[in-house]
Structure 1
Amino acid sequence: MIQIAKKVGRPFSENPKEIRITVRIDKKHNDILEDYSEKNNVTKNEAVRRGIEKLDEKNK
């Protein structure tokens, strides 16, 4: 009987982040982003995603 080994590594995400963007911001906006991230215990990436969600809410 042949045993097949299970794959090792991270499990697949239900919502993979496949799109990468790059933005340049000034010190003021970076300070705002860092302050929000620290106060809410999230990464800068997550803070930006939350900001984008807020934009979507305003458009409805």
Structure 2
Amino acid sequence: MKNRKKMGRPTDNPKVDSLNVRLDKESSEILKKYAEKYNITRTESARIGIKKLKEDL
């Protein structure tokens, strides 16, 4: 199979990896409230949370 480049908006930060995760009720609620507070998606909220983990490394 050939690797075809998908058409879409150009970006400086392409999202090439995918992650499917199951959340408990508390984690899901935290993510939802954060997204609502900052008017962003739950996905973007999760990315922000992951970047905050970098501080612990």
TM > 0.5 fold call: yes
Give 2:39's aligned residue: 41
State the TM-score, normalized to the length of structure 2.
0.77
1:22 maps to a residue whose letter is N
2:51 equivalent to 1:25: no
CA RMSD for the aligned pairs?
1.4
Aligned length: 51
* Consecutive aligned runs of 4 or more in structure 1 exceeding 4 Å deviation: none
Q: What displacement does 1:46 show?
A: 0.6
Q: How far does the alpha carbon of each residue in 1:5-60 deviate from its partner, in whole angstroms, 9 at most, with x for none?
A: xxxx743111110111000011111111100110011100110110111111232x
**Which structure has the greater CA radius of gyration?**
1
